[in-house]
């Protein structure tokens, strides 16, 4: 089973990028092929054999990763599995690629694996990095309904069957969009605590576009994927949760503008999931209203 890795970078972390690529090169088994995408920035000097793409402008995370997928042929067809790794992360173990090969080889219905993320200094995993509602124990592996964008492995047949990440999302919720489409097509998603990416703890709100994109893309996600009757329920729950978290007035104002934008702008193709998928998500502990 051939494994590749896609790394998206804005060129501002050359030392961390090199450390990540070294950790990928040290993986057991057959060498992992690597594609590095410069998202609106020139790339630093990279090891020989790395596939490179330099984009003239920042096209966002999902579109940039889609470019990385295509660097391995249509839908990533040159390889069987693609790892997606943040450029300031580090694979903590040298057997991660082998564990991926074993997991995908053992279960032909497994489409996506979400890795555990831990801070390199404290070893702690943030609750938001455990892709399930019961997130108190990050060391418990389980079947899940979404995954982490910068620390995962995807069987390339998933992309070839359902397409890539939603380009227009730019940032936020693109993984859940892909996850819901994959689950609707019959694929499974696992969270594996033994597949570890070390990554510094950072608040997602550090991004200037955070509040707008989170709100807009949440609406797009629902409009694209949910049965019509569930759209107001899902978005109503998230609206109330956002208010309950008591954001600052400037943050809430931006969030509300993004929420409105999600309703008034095109969301891309609408393919509502089957009710069987809704029930499947519910059985996995995350009905698509939460």
Q: What DSSP letter does each residue of 251-290 carry, written as one string?
A: HHHHHHHHHHHHHHS------PPPHHHHHHHHHTT--TT-
Mean pLDDT of the chain: 96
For residues 48 and 14, what is the distance between their CA atoms, to the nearest angstrom? 16
Predicted local distance difference test score (pLDDT) of residue 204: 67
| pLDDT tens for each residue of 10-29 | 999 999 999 999 999 999 99
Whether the CA torsion 86, 87, 92, 95 is positive or negative: it is positive
Is 205 a residue whose pLDDT tops 60?
no
| pLDDT tens for each residue of 27-47 | 999 999 999 999 999 999 999
| Domain residue ranges in the chain | 3-202, 205-283
| pLDDT tens for each residue of 148-178 | 999 999 999 999 999 999 999 999 999 999 9
CB of 152 within 8 A of CB of 112? yes
The CATH classification number of 3-202 equals: 3.90.550.10
| pLDDT tens for each residue of 120-143 | 999 999 999 999 988 999 999 999
- Indicate the pTM of the whole model: 0.95
For residues 62 and 149, what is the distance between their CA atoms, to the nearest angstrom? 9
Q: Name the nearest CA neighbour of 182 among 208, 154, 149, 209.
A: 154
């Amino acid at each position: 089973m051939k494994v590749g890795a896609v790394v998206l970078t804005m060129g501002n972390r050359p030392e961390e990028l090199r450390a990540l690529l070294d950790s990928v090169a040290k993986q057991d088994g057959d060498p992992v092929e690597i594609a590095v995408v410069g998202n609106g920035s020139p790339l630093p000097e990279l090891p020989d054999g790395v596939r490179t793409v330099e984009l003239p402008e920042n096209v966002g995370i999902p579109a940039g990763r889609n470019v990385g997928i295509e660097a391995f042929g249509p839908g990533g067809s040159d390889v069987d599995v693609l790892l997606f790794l943040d450029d300031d992360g580090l694979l903590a173990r040298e057997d991660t690629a082998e564990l991926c090969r074993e997991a995908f080889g053992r279960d032909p219905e497994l489409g996506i694996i979400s890795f555990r993320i831990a801070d390199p200094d404290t070893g702690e995993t943030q609750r938001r990095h455990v892709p399930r509602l019961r997130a108190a124990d990050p060391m418990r592996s389980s079947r899940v309904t979404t995954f982490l964008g910068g620390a995962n492995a995807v069987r390339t047949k998933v992309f070839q069957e359902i397409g890539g990440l939603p380009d227009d999302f730019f940032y936020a919720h693109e993984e859940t969009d892909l996850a819901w489409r994959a689950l609707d097509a019959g694929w499974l998603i696992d969270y594996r605590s033994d597949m570890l990416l070390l990554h510094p703890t950072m608040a997602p709100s550090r991004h200037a576009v955070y509040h707008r994109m989170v709100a807009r893309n949440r609406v797009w996600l629902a409009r694209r994927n949910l049965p019509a009757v569930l759209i107001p329920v899902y978005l109503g729950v998230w609206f109330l949760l956002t208010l309950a978290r008591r954001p600052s007035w400037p943050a809430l104002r931006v969030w509300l503008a993004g929420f409105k934008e999600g309703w008034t702008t095109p969301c891309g193709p609408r393919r509502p999931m089957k009710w069987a998928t809704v029930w499947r998500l519910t059985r996995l502990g995350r009905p698509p209203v939460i």
